[in-house]
């Protein structure tokens, strides 16, 4: 042995001989034996929620803030890897990094998990840290807000402190005004709504319950520190509270119960039998009891059916307030829109009279979201979309898709024509679908009547309406998506658009936004009213519906657009009356208020669009250079896109004198899909004036549209025909029969 080695041995021996009397050497531990005693999937499951994908498991990384699952665990090799932060290794590496330990302490911790001799049975000097556990508290998007740091010492009580990130890679050892959330909140929100949630007292107990495959949570700070805002995360759930076996634990359970009771589906306090004084659920599970036993114990305990007694000494929870300065200093994420400026995330009720085109609007939006395209004249961000077309069938959906997507349908758009009602598992099925499709941005439920629980004469109308949509609103908020529910308006009208929604105020009160679509049948233009809790802009919008292609587009502010239309009507009227008209004459011919007409004429005169030789003289058409777009009066309300749409090639209609011959003239050899066929038939009808009246031709066209199940287009056409023409029932029958027969030839 060299002199250098002898000196090293002497130093080590001297240090060993000077050790405290209570200290003994750790017995030799085989690291491979530790690894064989641990299932890396079970260990990783204590740090993050995992989901099986083929031969591995996947979840959000516990080693860095992660909202897009990038953490993979491979049980066959006993290794893990994060494709986000690039960390990888075996089970001991995972424990080391997840709990912030050095390599030696990580081995000791792994030995403890594997049930081998470890530092928990090794005596040591008092006050020396034996084990450190960092319990991370994350928000809904898995962003770490703070940690509860639990230190266990040799021959000394444990110590629990809290710390929060300082934004510079370090820590501040207090929580300050940091938002408080429940422990394992992302896992809680991802859990099935029907699953029982166990509320324990302390993070190690929650982790032990999670390890058993249960859903569990707790609050930071232990007994006596439950906050009322925690209850919202448990809304609509079945909750079991597990108190520690001591007086503070029982008081804490009562405090939790009083806070959550108004919000949850059911609640109960389960006293664990056979516990030692100050014992808890962790001790009970360590003693060999199972999740099945706990489930049976909870099932045997009655739920609390009445509000907790206010006389109980621990039930009263002080209300939490926030100062104006604290509130103004808080930062909140801006409202996110699915359709910019029109449809935000959250729940939205879209209501209109039947057959006015709201289903087409919903389908427009769904396709645009899936394709990252355009809806309501706005470019939308791409994402998955689900359309519950509960009043439709697959053939009809196929025809509508072909009409709106002549170049092919996008990926990421799913349909369902049959879905459970909300009270029969439909809400849970929808949440499961959202969990399986994390990139979802848009969901449509068409219609409310097919989704909600059937009405009962015993139900309070407001409560029943509110309950019908409350769960949808919670899902939309939980997953950050837009859920649109189609509904109908009343037969009458009201100055307040919300009063037009069929049903009680419970419907509009339960959703985040209400969109009321108002449109006179037969007209291209419509108005959509936007009423929402957080909408940045809520002025009514003017819309246009292109019947040929079933596309909705935005024309602009509804009031400004209405003024534009009124000016167009006046200009057209003055064109036909070269000698001019007085305001009273214009008002009478247009059926408008004289004062309103006078006000519009004054503005038009200032713009040079009309002229008046002298006061009390008639108004005449102004300088054509000042009329701008008002000179094109033949296609009011149509967008530029629609005006420039290519026209189908038509067959020569010369010499056609029978309805059946008219329909036979349609040539489909150069058409693509039903859209072109419909447009072509319409043009044949329009162009055929000599041997068949326009009204008769349009009747046949209306029959074609009806067969295509676009009824809301058929009805205004028939009403227009009835108002302006006289046509016998026999003529109408003959035309419809010929149109129906020709349609069958075209389609089949």
Which CATH number is 59's domain given? 3.90.580.10
- Examine the domain organization and report whether 615 and 654 are in the same domain: no
174: in domain: no
What stretches of 18-161 show up as alpha helix (H) in DSSP? 31-36, 40-44, 91-99, 103-114
**Candidate from 304-308, 372-376, 551-555, 610-614 with smallest mean pLDDT:** 304-308
- Examine the domain organization and report whether 567 and 606 are in the same domain: yes
The DSSP-derived string for 268-314 is EE-PPTTPPTT--HHHHHHTT--HHHHHHHHHTSPPP-SPPPTTSTT
Q: Which 3 state secondary structure label does DSSP give 216?
A: strand
679: in domain: yes
- Which range has the top average pLDDT, 239-243, 377-381, 486-490? 239-243
- Examine the domain organization and report whether 632 and 676 are in the same domain: no
What does the H/E/C string look like for 448-497?
HHHHCCCCCCCCCHHHHHHHHHHHHHHHHHHHCCEEEEEEEECCCCCCCH
Order across the sheet with 171-172: list the strands.
129-138, 144-153, 156-165, 171-172
Q: Where residue 155 falls among pLDDT bands split at 50, 70, 90?
A: low
**Distance between CA 654 and CA 680 in Å, rounded?**
16
pLDDT at 609: 78
543: in domain: no
pLDDT at 440: 94
**Domain that includes residue 236, residue range:** 185-299
Q: Higher pLDDT residue, 683 or 54?
A: 54
- Examine the domain organization and report whether 341 and 448 are in the same domain: yes
Q: What is the DSSP letter of 236?
A: T
Query: Alpha carbon of 536 to those of 265, 341, 559, 742: distances in Å?
Result: 34, 8, 18, 51
Q: Where residue 115 falls among pLDDT bands split at 50, 70, 90?
A: low
Q: Higher pLDDT residue, 45 or 474?
A: 474
Q: For residue 339, what is the enclosing H or E element?
A: strand 337-339
549: in domain: no
- Examine the domain organization and report whether 84 and 224 are in the same domain: no
Enter the pTM of the model: 0.44
- Examine the domain organization and report whether 426 and 412 are in the same domain: yes
Domain total in the chain: 5
> Could you report the per-residue pLDDT of 182-237, keeping only the tens digit for each?
999 999 999 998 899 999 999 999 999 998 899 999 999 888 889 988 998 998 89
133: in domain: no
681: in domain: yes
**Is the Cα dihedral 399, 403, 407, 412 positive or negative?**
negative
| Residues linked to residue 501 through DSSP beta bridges, in sequence order | 489
Which of 593, 609, 641 lies at the terminal end of a domain, its last residue? 641
pLDDT at 633: 37
- Examine the domain organization and report whether 651 and 609 are in the same domain: no
pLDDT at 719: 47
pLDDT at 65 over 80: no
**Is the Cα dihedral 271, 275, 277, 282 positive or negative?**
negative
CATH number at residue 625: 1.10.10.10
pLDDT at 9 over 50: no
Q: Considering the chain, what percentage of its residues have pLDDT values greater than 90?
A: 22
pLDDT at 253 over 50: yes
- Examine the domain organization and report whether 595 and 635 are in the same domain: yes
> Could you report the per-residue pLDDT of 316-359, keeping only the tens digit for each?
445 668 889 888 888 877 888 999 989 999 999 999 888 788 89
167: in domain: no
**Distance between CA 185 and CA 191 in Å, rounded?**
10
- Examine the domain organization and report whether 618 and 677 are in the same domain: no
**Distance between CA 515 and CA 493 in Å, rounded?**
15
- Examine the domain organization and report whether 677 and 701 are in the same domain: yes
42: in domain: yes
């Amino acid at each position: 042995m060299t002199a250098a080695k002898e000196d090293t041995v002497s130093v080590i021996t001297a240090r060993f001989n000077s050790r405290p009397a209570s200290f003994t050497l750790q017995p030799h531990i085989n690291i491979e034996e530790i690894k064989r005693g641990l299932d890396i999937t079970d260990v990783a499951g204590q740090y993050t929620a995992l989901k099986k994908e083929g031969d591995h498991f996947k979840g959000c990384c516990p080693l860095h803030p992660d909202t897009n699952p990038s953490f993979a665990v491979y049980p066959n090799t006993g290794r893990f890897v994060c494709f986000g932060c690039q960390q990888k290794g075996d089970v001991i590496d995972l424990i080391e990094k997840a709990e912030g330990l050095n390599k030696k302490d990580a081995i000791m911790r792994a030995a403890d998990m594997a049930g081998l001799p470890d530092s928990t049975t090794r005596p040591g000097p008092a006050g020396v840290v034996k084990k450190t556990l960092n319990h991370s508290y994350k928000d809904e998007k898995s962003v770490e807000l703070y940690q509860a740091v639990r230190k266990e010492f040799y021959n000394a009580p444990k110590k629990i402190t809290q710390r929060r990130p300082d934004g510079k890679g370090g820590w501040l050892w207090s929580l300050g005004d940091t938002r408080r959330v429940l422990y394992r909140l992302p896992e809680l929100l991802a859990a099935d709504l029907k699953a029982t949630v166990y509320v324990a007292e302390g993070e190690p107990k929650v982790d032990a319950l999670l390890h058993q495959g249960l859903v569990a949570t707790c609050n930071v700070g232990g007994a006596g520190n439950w906050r009322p805002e925690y209850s919202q995360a448990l809304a609509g759930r079945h909750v079991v509270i597990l108190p520690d076996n001591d007086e503070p634990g029982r008081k804490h359970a009562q405090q939790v119960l009083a806070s959550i009771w108004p919000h949850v589906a059911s609640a109960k306090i389960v006293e664990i039998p056979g516990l030692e004084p100050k014992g808890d659920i962790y001790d009970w599970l360590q003693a060999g009891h199972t999740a099945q036993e706990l489930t049976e114990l909870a099932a045997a305990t009655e739920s609390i059916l009445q509000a907790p007694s206010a006389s109980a000494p621990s039930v009263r929870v002080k209300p939490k307030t926030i100062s104006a300065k604290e509130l103004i200093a808080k930062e909140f994420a801006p409202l996110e829109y699915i359709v910019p400026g029109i449809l935000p995330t959250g729940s939205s009720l879209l209501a209109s009279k039947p057959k006015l085109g709201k289903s087409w609007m919903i389908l427009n939006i769904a396709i645009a979201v899936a394709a990252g395209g355009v809806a309501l004249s706005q470019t939308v961000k791409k994402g998955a979309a689900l359309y519950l077309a509960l009043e439709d069938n697959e053939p009809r959906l196929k025809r509508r898709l072909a009409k709106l997507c002549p170049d092919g349908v996008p990926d990421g758009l799913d349909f369902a024509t049959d879905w459970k009602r909300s009270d029969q598992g439909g809400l849970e099925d929808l949440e499961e679908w959202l969990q399986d499709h994390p990139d979802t941005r848009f969901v449509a439920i068409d219609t409310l009547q097919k989704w909600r629980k059937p009405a009962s004469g015993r139900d309070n109308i407001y409560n029943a309406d509110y309950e019908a949509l409350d769960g949808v609103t919670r899902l939309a908020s939980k997953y950050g998506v837009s859920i649109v529910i189609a509904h109908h308006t009343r037969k009458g009208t009201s100055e307040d658009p919300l009063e037009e929604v069929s049903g009680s105020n419970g419907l509009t009160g339960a959703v985040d936004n209400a969109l009321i679509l108002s449109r006179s049948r037969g007209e291209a233009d419509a108005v959509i009213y936007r009423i929402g809790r957080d909408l940045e802009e809520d002025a009514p919008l003017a819309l246009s519906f292109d019947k040929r292609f079933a596309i909705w587009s935005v024309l602009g502010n509804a009031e400004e657009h209405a003024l534009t239309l009124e000016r167009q009507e006046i200009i057209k009227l003055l064109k036909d009356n070269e000698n001019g008209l007085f305001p009273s004459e214009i008002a009478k011919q247009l059926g408008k208020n004289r004062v309103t007409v006078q006000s519009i004429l004054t503005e038009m005169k200032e713009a040079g669009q009309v002229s008046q030789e002298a006061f009390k003289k008639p108004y005449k058409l102004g300088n054509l250079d000042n009329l701008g777009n008002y000179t094109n009066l033949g296609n009011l309300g149509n967008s530029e896109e629609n005006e420039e749409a290519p026209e189908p090639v038509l067959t020569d209609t010369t010499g056609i004198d029978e309805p059946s011959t008219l329909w036979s003239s349609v040539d489909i050899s150069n058409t693509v899909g039903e859209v072109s066929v419909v447009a072509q038939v319409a043009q044949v009808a329009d162009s055929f004036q000599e041997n068949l009246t326009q009204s008769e031709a349009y009747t046949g066209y209306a029959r074609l549209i009806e067969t295509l199940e676009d009824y809301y287009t058929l009805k205004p056409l028939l009403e227009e025909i009835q108002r302006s023409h006289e046509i016998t029932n026999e003529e109408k029958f003959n035309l419809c029969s010929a149109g129906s027969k020709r349609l069958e030839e075209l389609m089949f």
